[in-house]
Amino acid sequence: MYSFLRIIRFALQDIARNIGLSFMTIFVLVLMLLSVNTLLFIRLVTTEATTSIRDQIDVSIYLSLEATADEIDEVYTYIASLPEVTQATFFSQEEVLDNFRTLYHDNENILASLEELTENPLGATIVVKTKDPADYVTVIEELSIPEYETIVESKTFTDTQGAIQKIDVITTNVERFSFALTAFFAIIAFLIIFNTIRVAIYTQRIEISIKKLVGATNWFVRGPYVIESVVFSVFSVGIAISMVYISTGFLDQYLGVILGDPQFLTNYYFLHILSLAGIQFGIVFFLTLISSLLAMRRYLRT
């Protein structure tokens, strides 16, 4: 226990002696962690946005006014039985007309035109949702057969697939940039920590030699630098987590309008803060520990 307390004291002394390098080490580690959290936020937001867009995609199948009830039932049963279809909703002529009036309730010209008609000009409609947007093409092709030419009047595909593809492209490019930025900061952090330890060891080479002469083990000499790795990890993770948590409230003001959840990032970060902090601490501690041990190998041999 006494040896452990001495190791802690030596570690704190080393940090105080090289306060400038210690500060720069923590600063670079914080930047690396912020880039990691940025990558996480990008993944969360784009996944949520893509899911939201996918949920809004559907294909509307407009049935002919001359189609009989049996023919309509046949088409509906066939569509609902397709393996790609997750939901098929049938709207009668009256429901389609009511929905049309609701949609154009503020357009007096359209409503006046409807009043002049003696019959409902709109046919029944089937709205279909599938497991994947690419499956809508399959559904449309399945209905493009001679047997249904007189029953199915037209098919419209709400083509937001293009928007999803654009989001995927943007997400991929931003993730690549964020990953490269994270790797860059990781390399810089490794080099700074490596040189910080080398400078500290060089300035204390005589003290290390004396420790070795009086019987100190290599692990006793390494101990202070392992403690420094813990200190750097705790401070950098604590600062980064605090900054990220504060920034979630600011970002949610803008993302809430798009995603429909005014506290999307805040809630996610609050629920996962312990696991995120633990994982980030493990990454930073591993990085600092490896760089410290590598920096010391040369001096422990002498």
The pTM for the full model equals 0.66
- Main-chain phi, psi angles of 105, to 5 degrees: -65, -25
Predicted local distance difference test score (pLDDT) of residue 161: 59
Predicted local distance difference test score (pLDDT) of residue 123: 84
Predicted local distance difference test score (pLDDT) of residue 239: 92
Return residue ranges of the chain for CATH 3.30.70.3040: 58-158
pLDDT by residue for the chain (302 residues), tens only, comes to 666 777 788 777 777 777 877 788 788 888 888 888 887 887 788 777 777 777 777 788 888 888 888 888 988 898 888 888 888 889 988 898 888 888 888 888 887 877 887 788 888 888 888 877 777 778 888 888 888 878 887 777 655 556 656 766 776 777 787 778 777 877 776 777 677 667 666 666 666 667 666 666 666 777 777 788 888 888 989 998 889 888 888 888 877 776 777 788 888 888 888 888 898 888 888 877 787 777 666 656 55
pLDDT digits (tens, 9 = 90+) for 249-265: 888 887 777 677 778 88
**Taking the alpha carbons of 105, 111, 112, 116 in that order, is the dihedral positive or negative?**
negative
pLDDT digits (tens, 9 = 90+) for 46-91: 777 777 777 777 788 888 888 888 888 988 898 888 888 888 889 9
Which CATH class, in words, describes the domain spanning 58-158? alpha beta
